[in-house]
Amino acid sequence: MIIDKLFERVAQRGVVCVGLDTDFEYIPKSFADQFENLEDVIFEFNKRIIDSTLDTVGCFKVQIAYYEAYGLKGLRAYAKTLKYLRDMDAVIIADVKRGDIAKTAEMYGKAHFEGDFESDFITVNPYMGMDTIEPFLPYLKNKEKGLFALVRTSNRGAEDIQYINSLGGSKIYGIVGNKINSLGKDYLGSSGYSSIGAVVGCTHRSEARELRKSLESTFFLIPGYGAQGGKAEDVALYLNRGNGGIVNSSRAVLLAYKGKDKGDEKFDIYSREEVIRMKKEIVEICSKLEGGLK
């Protein structure tokens, strides 16, 4: 199952997920000026980042909004980036956050699990109801695909809805998480984790251990590290012996060259250095925690 491939990649290459949230403004002008069109600029920048970090990250997450914003040229860069990642046998998360039902969701599955936009995992939003997930399930069973469902997100506004107490006293995110964990038991891999994972932001530390314990077979996609304020000490609480989750970093990796000597020329090298620094920091914290790395 695809979750076992991701689990093994984390074990072999580390817990970092590079987020290819590639805004044109992030790309050094001296590099962009080498190309005639936007499509090539974005793709070639991504390619340099991928080549520099592939052997030291668990996976890559490609946020579609950054490509949709540039219209057809941006989407062609998105498709070329995904194809290159597939050619390199990278594990790919397409961050598309789909959350519709019935035939519409079925078409989203076809769009992002097949054809030009094919990826290994996609992000989905189950807050419209669990029937938003059902149309994707045949891909998990028959096509070696996976999902990451929003459970407890990293943004400040998560408290507006996700933290509301139900009549039974449970918070909404806890109810959603338990439903995801229960559904995921039908898609367990040999790693003990399910191909239905959860997006769990690391910016809310107080309930980290409770979430990790209650969602024992759910693999976490963990945003919020770095630019959103999450620290290695927060991230480690959502992991299990240094695995069981993947920690996304986008801007910190893509913009690592800023302010560095010859940064524009060596942006990919500085991205690699940031990944290695981040990975080392998280491993060191995990090793200090009970149940951490051995």
Total Cβ atoms within 10 A of residue 59: 23
Q: Which of 273, 249, 194, 269 has the alpha carbon at shortest distance from 15?
A: 249
Our answer to whether residue 185 is catalytic in this structure is: no
- Choose, from 47, 83, 97, 179, the residue flagged as catalytic: 97
Helix axes 38-53, 71-87, angle to 10 degrees: 30
Which tokens in the block code for residue 197? 């994972």
19 and 253 Cβ atoms separated by less than 8 Å: yes
| Burial class of residue 215, CB neighbours in 10 A (0-12, 13-18, 19+) | buried
CA distance 194 to 199: 13
Active site members:
97
